Chain A
Amino acid sequence: MVLPRRKANRMQGLNVPDVDFETTWGVLEKAFLEIHTKNASALSFEELYRNAYKIVLKKKGEELYHKVADFEARWLSSEVRTKIVATITPPLQLLTEGNGGRLLSSTAERRTAGENFLRTLKQSWEDHGVCMGMLTDVLMYMVKDRVYCTDHRQPSIFAKAMGLFRDQILRSFDRPNGTMLAECLTKVILDQIQMDRDGEKIDQHLIKANVYMLEGLYQSDQEVEEEKLYLKMFEPYFLETSAAFYREEGERLLKESDAGTYCKEAKRRIDEESDRCRSTISEATTSKIQRVVEDELIRHKMKGLIEMDSGVQYMIDNDKLYELGLVFELEARVDPRKGELTKAIVKIVQDMGLAINRTAEVTSAAPPTAAAQDDAGEEKQKAGAARQINQQTVAALKWVEDVLALKERFDSIWKVAFNSDQTISTALTRSIADVINAFGRSSEYISLFIDENMKKGIRDKTEIEVDATLEQAIMTLRYLQDKDIFETYYKKHLCKRLLLKKSQSIDVEKQMISKMKMELGNSFTLKLEAMFKDMTLSEDLTGGYRAHVTRLGQADAKRVELSINVLTSMTWPLEAFRGAGEDEREGRSNLIFPGSIERIKTGFERFYAEKYSGRKLTWQTNMGDADMKATFPKSRNGRPMTHDINCSTYGMLILLLFNDLRADQPLSLEEIQTKTNIRESDLKRNLQSLAVAPKTRFLVKEPMSREIKAGDKFYYNDNFSSKIIKIKVGVVSAGNKVEGDKERKETEKKNNDSRGFAIEAAVVRIMKQRKDLSHAQLITETLTVLSSQFKPDVNMIKKRIESLIEREYLERIEDAPVPSYKYLA
């Protein structure tokens, strides 16, 4: 029988019993209670779902929603809250109520109580989550279709339940007028974190779970991302207390420990906070807390740290490279430009540089005074003068070496500790340059440094060592601003080395020139190379003349041989050989040569005129020297001995006068002058070395005294004796390598003149090309063009422009908006 069955079915279908809401809810409520008391396994999911479906189908969804919410609120406020509040024991009450809470209870007490509180809260939260998961599963039909929620703009039942936890638990108070639980939570977590910072063990997972809860909850049921409770109720306080903690710790560390420890500690703290975010709090806070720690431990303390007694100065003094590296690393975290450190380093370099400069000044100035005090005796004083020369060289060598050592030292610090940082490199270069340029004699000293090395320093060095020395010189040169002044000195020193054959190796000299060429450019070395060319040509000339003389067949044994250097005027700084205050014309007074000398002189002039017509030779007798053979009767223990004497051309002339006299026949100063026509000052100096200096006293002076005065008489020294065959006669102050103040002023003046020309040339070149240009632009361009030679004074440029306008190279453009000039062709 089919029909009855169908009918029965139909009847059932037609009479779906009206859902009695209260009854159905009663079933559900009972089930929810089971769920909350963890007896879910006895429940039938299908039954609950069916009941919920029916309720929603009968449009009782809203009632169901509110019933569920009420149920949850009740459950949370009675069961759960009570449990949590019970864990707020006295140690926690003290902690959460007053600021001194941490002091009133022991750490152990607070930790146990805190963990208990956190654990209970965590457990409640997790239970709540699990229960709500099950509830929403059962209520899925309501949740999923949002039949209820979307219609009424209410949060989903899950979101609602989360909100209830926030309202019923976190926003409730531990007792009337007490502390809000969320606040308790924050304070307990902060307290635990403080314990962690103090090095005590805490349960990180426990805190993490609670933070996780705060991250899952929002200020309102709208669940706006920026309104997470974590961001609102925890993070700001965490950052605030951390800032206070690190501010204090930073100050304490600065006071109590040394800079190295401070750095290590700061680094450790920063890492520790990152780790804490990962393990204990939330990674979202990592960058914020780093910023806080960096602010408090680095940004605000960097200056104090650097200036500590054990700060950067100390580290550099004691080669604490690792600590320096730490300082660098710290500041690099907060400032890509490393401002404070750079400033400190620059200052230290400049201070050290200043000390080097001062030492050099003291060294160069000290000896004369010391000598004057020690002994007024003539010989001592003369030795003192020689020492002074030497002392200047020593000062120069020391200065250059010190500067190089300074640079080297900071280079290695830079490389090891500062990670080859670009900004610091720039600052270092600038400060080294400042040190070098702040020293008035830097150009001269660098040239002297090279001079000394060319003459002596490189004697026993290998090629590589020589190259390194040259490289060092170039290095200092690189920093030097006034390259034109250096050029002047270098030319002067090179000139002497070449003419007096003091150079150890012409190859090395040339190597130096080519290095300079690479570093400073072609124009810089042009004149220096010309000097080398003159030397080569002169060698050829000397040889050619000798051959010429030989061809003439004058095979005279007593013939005087001539070795000559023909120097292009303007290329050679011949004034270097003149003493202070000598006039050029006066220096070239016509000497009276004895016949044999005069003959070869005119002989060479003829020879040269044949080779190069139209050139004028000017004899620089003040620069010449002569080798003579002289025999003194009692030289070797009373027996005669022939010596090879090397003396200046002047000295030769003076000594030759006595060849024709008897031993007891004197010549007065005036007579000598008349016979030779040597300028008085030169004559006096030469006579001093021939008649006063003990080792080369070929003449006897009357009266015997140090000074050469008018009316003094000179005799041939019959009793001269020396064990040395080759005797070199030094001339007092002739070879003074370091300038006196007067000389220096003159050099400076000359230098200023040549700079003037250089500026004018640059200005004209620029204007010729640009036709018209504003004043400011012209100054800038001029500075750029000249930077490879020197750094001109702006006032000097202005004066030169004025002068060019006067001379009608330029004119001012009238009614130009900015001052401008025009080039007049």
Chain B
Amino acid sequence: MGDKPRAELLDGLRSLYQTREYADLVVFARDGSRHPVHRAIVCPRSQYFSDQVQSKSREGTDGHITLSDDEPEVVQLLIEYLYLLDYEPNISAVAEDASSHGDSSDTMSVRTEGGQYGQVYGTSAISAFGGPQSPFSQVYRTRTESSLTVHAIPTSDFHGTFGRTANRGRKTHRQDPSPLATTAPRLALHARMYTAGHKYGIDGLKTLALDKFKIQLTRHWDSPELAEAIHVIYDTTPSADKDMREAVADVLDMHSRLLDKPEIEVAIMEINGLAYELLRRSKRIEPEYMG
């Protein structure tokens, strides 16, 4: 199948998303915002929606679903994801806020050597859509101008070297900030998106959110939002779910001066699991990378 038919399908979805024509289900956020959606789009992607629509409960009878547990923005982005396979958080709304704190993150000049990042970030971007074989991965690349496109192109020995490169990168030298990091990090939002993906059984969303979270961290690891994000992660996902927890531990491990921040200190003290994770890392020896 060439790109064109795929693009056609995705354009169709985008159009449905924009017009909301034929919508047969309404999702409400707790602030009352109303999102007409299509059962045919939503249900196949999430068992949660599917069960609910078919159940004999109030929701099943009315066709109204209220996601009272989630931030209205999360609800909106969740639906955006279901149609567009991506979500773009509103940056301008918080840009002011972010700047008022001052951009204290690493101010090193942005490196543009795409290949290097590609190895680190490209992976999750692809796996988010089911790997290189997924029919959507290619379309995704052609459609998105801004985000992962450049990095998603795998280098030839991509799979073989990834694990090692990532590990060494983490241990031996500091991570360079990603050029994709936006001005406002929205770390907590990505964490919430991740939780939503988990709670409603949408694995693609989980991966995408994890990816976006990590990209932002490369630049905004110093953001005051980090503490909130940590709480979201540890409060709303089960401990067996490791990916986000590791991303947090990685960043705290790498930038030890974060530990001096009061809100981080509170978080570590409150969350036993995080303290343990950090302790474990500080004691871990990896002789195979020392030489």
What is the interface of chain A, defined by CB distance below 8 A to chain B?
2-3, 6, 9-10, 13-14, 16, 40-50, 53, 56-57, 59, 134, 137-138, 140-141, 144-145, 147
What residues of chain B lie closer than 8 Å to A59, measured between beta carbons?
238-239
Binds A, one of B45-53, B131-139, B254-262, B280-288: B45-53
Q: How far is the CA of A2 from the CA of B69 in the complex (A)?
A: 22
Mark contacts of B226-240 with chain A using CB atoms, 8 A cut-off: 1 yes-contact digit, 0 otherwise: 001001100111111
By beta carbon, the residue of chain B nearest A53 is B199
Q: How far is the CA of A40 from the CA of B51 in the complex (A)?
A: 14
Q: B88 to chain A: closest CB distance in Å?
A: 19
Q: How far is the CA of A216 from the CA of B123 in the complex (A)?
A: 45
Once the chains bind, are A43 and B238 in contact (CB under 8 Å)?
no
Q: How far is the CA of A46 from the CA of B66 in the complex (A)?
A: 7
What residues of chain B lie closer than 8 Å to A6, measured between beta carbons?
94, 97
Main DSSP-derived SS at the A contact region: helix
Once the chains bind, are B237 and A13 in contact (CB under 8 Å)?
no
List 29 A-B residue pairs with CB atoms under 8 Å apart, sorted by A's residue number: A2-B94, A2-B96, A6-B97, A9-B71, A9-B188, A10-B188, A10-B228, A13-B231, A13-B232, A16-B236, A41-B57, A41-B58, A44-B58, A44-B59, A45-B52, A45-B55, A45-B57, A46-B59, A46-B67, A48-B57, A49-B48, A50-B68, A53-B199, A57-B238, A134-B56, A134-B57, A140-B201, A144-B201, A145-B238
Does B60 make an interface contact (CB < 8 A)? yes
Once the chains bind, are A16 and B235 in contact (CB under 8 Å)?
yes
What residues of chain A lie closer than 8 Å to B59, measured between beta carbons?
44-46
* Contacts across chains A and B counted by CB atoms under 8 Å: 83
Which of B48, B97, B232 meets A3, CB within 8 Å? B97
Once the chains bind, are B237 and A57 in contact (CB under 8 Å)?
yes
Does B33 make an interface contact (CB < 8 A)? no
Q: A87 to chain B: closest CB distance in Å?
A: 27
What residues of chain B lie closer than 8 Å to A147, measured between beta carbons?
238, 240
Mark contacts of B217-253 with chain A using CB atoms, 8 A cut-off: 1 yes-contact digit, 0 otherwise: 0000000000010011001111110000000000000
Q: How far is the CA of A46 from the CA of B238 in the complex (A)?
A: 19
User: How many interface residues does B have (CB within 8 Å)?
Assistant: 35
Indicate whether A134 sits within 8 Å of B69 (C-beta atoms), given known contacts A140-B48, A141-B199: no
Q: A20 to chain B: closest CB distance in Å?
A: 15
Q: A156 to chain B: closest CB distance in Å?
A: 15
What residues of chain B lie closer than 8 Å to A43, measured between beta carbons?
57-58
Which of A46, A138, A140 meets B65, CB within 8 Å? A46
Once the chains bind, are A137 and B51 in contact (CB under 8 Å)?
yes
Once the chains bind, are B52 and A46 in contact (CB under 8 Å)?
yes
What residues of chain B lie closer than 8 Å to A16, measured between beta carbons?
235-236
What is the interface of chain B, defined by CB distance below 8 A to chain A?
47-48, 51-52, 54-61, 65-69, 71, 93-94, 96-97, 100, 188, 199, 201, 228, 231-232, 235-240
What residues of chain A lie closer than 8 Å to B201, measured between beta carbons?
140, 144
Once the chains bind, are B188 and A41 in contact (CB under 8 Å)?
no
Q: A32 to chain B: closest CB distance in Å?
A: 12
Q: How far is the CA of A3 from the CA of B68 in the complex (A)?
A: 23
What residues of chain B lie closer than 8 Å to A14, measured between beta carbons?
228, 231
Which of A2, A134, A145 meets B97, CB within 8 Å? A2
Q: A539 to chain B: closest CB distance in Å?
A: 96
Once the chains bind, are A140 and B51 in contact (CB under 8 Å)?
yes
Indicate whether A44 sits within 8 Å of B57 (C-beta atoms), given known contacts A3-B97, A49-B48, A137-B51: yes
What residues of chain B lie closer than 8 Å to A42, measured between beta carbons?
58
Which of A3, A45, A56, A145 meets B58, CB within 8 Å? A45
What residues of chain B lie closer than 8 Å to A46, measured between beta carbons?
52, 59, 65-69
Once the chains bind, are A40 and B55 in contact (CB under 8 Å)?
yes
By beta carbon, the residue of chain A nearest B228 is A10
Instruction: Give the 3 A-B CB pairs with smallest separation, nearest first.
Output: A45-B57, A137-B51, A40-B56
Q: B261 to chain A: closest CB distance in Å?
A: 14
Q: A41 to chain B: closest CB distance in Å?
A: 5
Once the chains bind, are A41 and B61 in contact (CB under 8 Å)?
yes
Q: How far is the CA of A524 from the CA of B148 in the complex (A)?
A: 100
What residues of chain B lie closer than 8 Å to A49, measured between beta carbons?
48, 52
Q: B227 to chain A: closest CB distance in Å?
A: 8
Q: A34 to chain B: closest CB distance in Å?
A: 10
Most chain-B Cβ atoms within 10 A of its Cβ — which of A2, A14, A43, A56? A14
By beta carbon, the residue of chain B nearest A11 is B228
Q: How far is the CA of A561 from the CA of B267 in the complex (A)?
A: 150
Q: How far is the CA of A59 from the CA of B239 in the complex (A)?
A: 9
What residues of chain B lie closer than 8 Å to A56, measured between beta carbons?
238
Q: How far is the CA of A53 from the CA of B201 in the complex (A)?
A: 12
Q: B129 to chain A: closest CB distance in Å?
A: 22
What residues of chain A lie closer than 8 Å to B231, measured between beta carbons?
13-14
Q: How far is the CA of A77 from the CA of B177 in the complex (A)?
A: 63
Q: How far is the CA of A748 from the CA of B265 in the complex (A)?
A: 126
Once the chains bind, are B69 and A50 in contact (CB under 8 Å)?
yes
What residues of chain A lie closer than 8 Å to B93, measured between beta carbons?
2
Q: How far is the CA of A46 from the CA of B54 in the complex (A)?
A: 13
Q: How far is the CA of A40 from the CA of B60 in the complex (A)?
A: 10
